[in-house]
A and B are shown apart, each in its own frame.
Chain A
Amino acid sequence: MSRIRRSRGEQIFNVFNIAFMILLMLACLYPFWYVIMASFSRPTLILGHRGGLLFPLGFSLQAYEAVFANRSIWIGYYNTIIYVVGGTCINIVMTIMGAYYLSRRFAPCKKFVMLLILFTMYFSGGMIPTFLNIRNLGLLDTRWAILLPGAISTFNLIIMRTAFASIDASMEESAMLDGAGHWTIMFRIMLPLAKATVAVLVLYYGVGHWNSWFSAMLYLSNEALKPLQLVLREILIVNSANATQGGGGDADSELLSETIQYATILVATVPILCLYPFLQKYFVKGMMVGALKG
């Protein structure tokens, strides 16, 4: 049925549909284009400029020089890498342990544990009790305040459990007969078979840590511990809000600050956007796993 005779109405629809998709793609791309062009522009020109840009106004690398010279951005990058790598490792180990237990058919108190875990998806203590809890535990202003809370996402735990539960039970029974313990079964049998799901969860957790700034704002006041996104918030949101409210600052830095913002956005976003084409298929797979099974 590859050659279907199309009615006139369908042809018109096709044209509009393609036109719409092209517009949509432009709408998705242009903001990035604008930021790139603006970041390479001459600060003096961009300040008075209104509206869109197709090409840089003049050409200058001043903004990038300023960004690369800004130590707090690199400290932020360093911290973010610690949080992404460390946090994701904790996440994955914890999630796998929980999921392994919940996927066993004869685990003790399984129903109760499941209920305990599921309930947290629908109800939580809220921001203030959570904050006080972290403070009582003495975690304020330590890296653990970022790494430990949220060590398990219940949603991801359920996805992992579903993946484990779909593995043929006879595999582990025969392993058990051969004398394998739970750890051996988990690492030697379950994990290799659920590799794809683990990969997806690594990405989910990793991106979550990369994007996170709010808990860092709540729990960290030490500059040396702040993750990149929180540093970005200070540079991009707080400073610019102060600037528009007529805050001080000499003319030169004010001039630069506009283009610095664009350069900062790019320095903080380009690494992720470069990784993205390689990761896309895993993410898509993950979305489907989550939607169809979760």
Chain B
Amino acid sequence: MIILPVLIYYIVFEYLPMYGVVIAFQNFSPRRGIWGSPWVGLQHFESFLSGIYIGRLIRNTLRISLSTLAFGFPAPIILALLMNELRGKAFPRLVQTITYMPHFISMVVLCAMIRDFVQEGGVITEFFTLFGYDGRGMLGKQDLFTPIYVISGIWQGVGWGSIVYLASLTSIDMELYEAARIDGAGRWKQTLHITLPSILPTIIIMFIMRMGNVMSVGHEKVMLLYNEGIYEKADVISTYVYRYGIEQQQYSFSAAVGLFNSVINFVLVIFANALSRKVSETSLW
């Protein structure tokens, strides 16, 4: 049976942890295991929902992910449309090659570079000082965390993200443009009435895939960038789960917080998919 190793993998590494989620309803102690730990019902959920951090965690998670969505999602679409307007062969290729490059540096290195550039005296800090910024390290200021997170994400991902849209741009029938030109449509009109509608299905699919992640800000990047001084604006649900679960070993409580988060994510994907099926008849399933 060819499928057997695959099934075993899914059961052991995907479904066992899913079963392990029951510890969210227990006072789990590793010594007693899942079978021996006492059940406490929804106690951990209640203490999280009525705790002092839930407000800021949800606010931060939503602020960071919605800003990423609002600015990071359209950026590659716009770049692809602009690249599509470039004439010639060599120049667009050069632009592509160079804008893809940041995608290939690892998250750790990216964050190390960000930290260096926005520290006091760093390249970016000094640049903004020319325009009246006070010159202090930017990651020490809680209000700058989201912009740093979002803009660095765009820097790293915009070129790479545009590939999908460029691919779907090349599949547009050239005759449509010719017909539009004969009807007197300029480039702007052509973009609006031919190009955009043609790549709309791709945009919608990409959007649905992003929607499901609205409540899950990648903990890796936040963990590499934040510091205790700016938790107020930088701490998100997943980093909170990490600190309570792994560092302080409050397994049950942090599992409950994690479960709360995954359930919301799950609902969001279903919702996004249902929405897009209604609006555009494009859906993931």
Query: B203-243 toward A: CB 8 Å interface, digit per residue (1/0)?
Result: 00110000010000001100110010000000000100110
The CA of A149 and the CA of B181, in the complex, are separated in Å by 55
Number of CB contacts from chain A to chain B under 8 A:
236
* B63 interface contact, C-beta 8 A: no
Main secondary structure of the interface of B (DSSP, over half): helix
Q: Is the Cβ of A232 less than 8 Å from the Cβ of B99?
A: no
* Cβ-defined partner of A113 (8 Å) among B3, B83, B102, B255: B3
On chain B, the residues within 8 Å of A207 by CB distance are: 104
On chain A, the residues within 8 Å of B115 by CB distance are: 236-237, 240
CB within 8 Å for A100 and B2 given contacts A4-B181, A27-B155? yes
Q: Is the Cβ of A232 less than 8 Å from the Cβ of B108?
A: yes
* B176 interface contact, C-beta 8 A: no
Q: Is the Cβ of A123 less than 8 Å from the Cβ of B155?
A: no
* A133 interface contact, C-beta 8 A: yes
Give chain B's interface residue range (CB within 8 Å of chain A). Answer: 35 or more
Q: Is the Cβ of B9 less than 8 Å from the Cβ of A229?
A: no
On chain A, the residues within 8 Å of B42 by CB distance are: none
On chain B, the residues within 8 Å of A53 by CB distance are: 123
Minimum CB–CB distance from B114 to chain A (whole Å) comes to: 9
A interface residue numbers (CB < 8 A to B): 1, 4, 7, 9-10, 13-14, 17-18, 20-21, 24-25, 27-29, 31-32, 34-35, 49-53, 94, 97-98, 100-101, 107, 113, 116-117, 120, 122-133, 135, 137, 148-152, 182-183, 186, 207, 210-211, 213-214, 218, 229, 232-233, 236-237, 240-241, 244, 261-262, 265, 268-269, 272-273, 276-277, 280, 283-284, 287-288, 291-292
B interface residue numbers (CB < 8 A to A): 2-3, 5-7, 9-10, 12-21, 23, 30, 79, 82-83, 85-87, 91, 94-95, 97-102, 104-109, 111-113, 115-117, 119, 121, 123, 126-127, 137, 155, 159-160, 163-164, 167-168, 178, 181, 186-187, 202, 205-206, 212, 219-220, 223-224, 227, 238, 241-242, 245-246, 251, 254-255, 258-259, 261-262, 265-266, 269
Q: Can you offer 6 A-B residue contacts whose CB atoms are under 8 A?
A: A17-B82, A31-B117, A125-B20, A126-B262, A132-B30, A149-B13
**Given A94-B9, A131-B246, A214-B219, 17 more contacts at CB 8 Å?**
A14-B85, A20-B82, A21-B86, A28-B98, A28-B159, A35-B113, A52-B123, A122-B266, A125-B16, A129-B23, A131-B245, A132-B23, A149-B13, A214-B220, A218-B246, A232-B109, A288-B167
